Amino acid sequence: MSDPVFVRLGSRPTPYSDTVRARLDHDADRIVARYSPPEQPDSQMARSALLPLLHLVQAEEGYVSPTGIGFCADRLGLTGAEVAAVSTFYSMYRREPTRDYLVGVCTNTLCAVMGGDAIYDALREHVSGDDAHITLTHVECNAACDYAPVVMVNWEFFDNQTPESARSVVDALRSGEEVVPTRGASLCTFRETERILAGFPDERLGAVQAGGRPGDPTLAGLLVAREQGMRAPEAAAPTDSGSAPLGSEDAAASESAKDKPAPAPTESVPPEKGH
């Protein structure tokens, strides 16, 4: 019999130092307690804490590292594969180290048409790969299409941008100036932002304000509808089964077909009435 052959599949993650681990455990205890009752700390409900825990480890290292994945798995009784599957599904969890400011340009359809591609190309020339403060990336739609094109810095909105204004934002961040997004409080660093997203207090001045209202672009369609006297059609009254009442023809067709088998996959389905 030949000697066994061992194949090394990957290096073991470097564990956190005792000091870092103690600090993360303290914060993780507070996070997990929100989802799991104290008398059942190991219940299935505790797994709901995974998303904020991933933000917590991202606040520590600037991305979700193999060490961070192991920490989350250990705290919640999950496998590393289960944690990695979640962390790679959501785009807010970074797979590579991120610098102080994550500058994301939306290049989804509307922002791209309105100039997002041009902004991204301009910033790609303006920001080198080894920039000490800026990490540049694409971002997916962040539901601010009425202010397109949109740039996000550490998940804060910069609306109605141009290549020139986006370069000015980057230059201000590099120089250490206070930078205020279109909506919200002054920017903090990426790691500080991640700690806030993990559920810890946001102590920036003006970060939590009441009385906000949507902007004019957001309300434009509603205002036009009111001016034109437009209204949504009234919903039909539901029956006991929760469906809208059927007309006589529909009811008769439904009654005649209720005991018939469904069409086989190779049979054509008859067109709907009126088509």
Q: What are phi and psi of 36, to 5 degrees?
A: -130, 130
Q: What is the pTM of this model?
A: 0.76
Could you tell me how many helices (H) and strands (E) the chain has, helices first? 10, 4
Q: What is the pLDDT of residue 247?
A: 56
Burial-class residue 194 by CB neighbours within 10 Å (0-12, 13-18, 19+). Answer: buried
Ordered by where they begin, the domains of the chain are: 18-89 (no CATH), 101-197 (3.40.30.10)
Residue of 198, 103, 196 whose CA lies nearest to 151: 103
The tens place of each residue's pLDDT in the chain, 275 residues long, gives 556 655 454 567 889 999 999 999 999 999 999 987 666 656 577 789 999 999 999 999 999 999 999 999 999 999 999 999 999 999 999 999 999 999 999 999 999 999 999 999 999 999 998 999 999 999 989 889 999 999 999 999 999 999 999 999 999 999 999 999 998 899 999 999 999 999 999 988 888 775 557 778 888 888 999 999 998 888 877 666 655 555 555 556 666 666 666 655 554 545 554 54
Burial-class residue 64 by CB neighbours within 10 Å (0-12, 13-18, 19+). Answer: buried
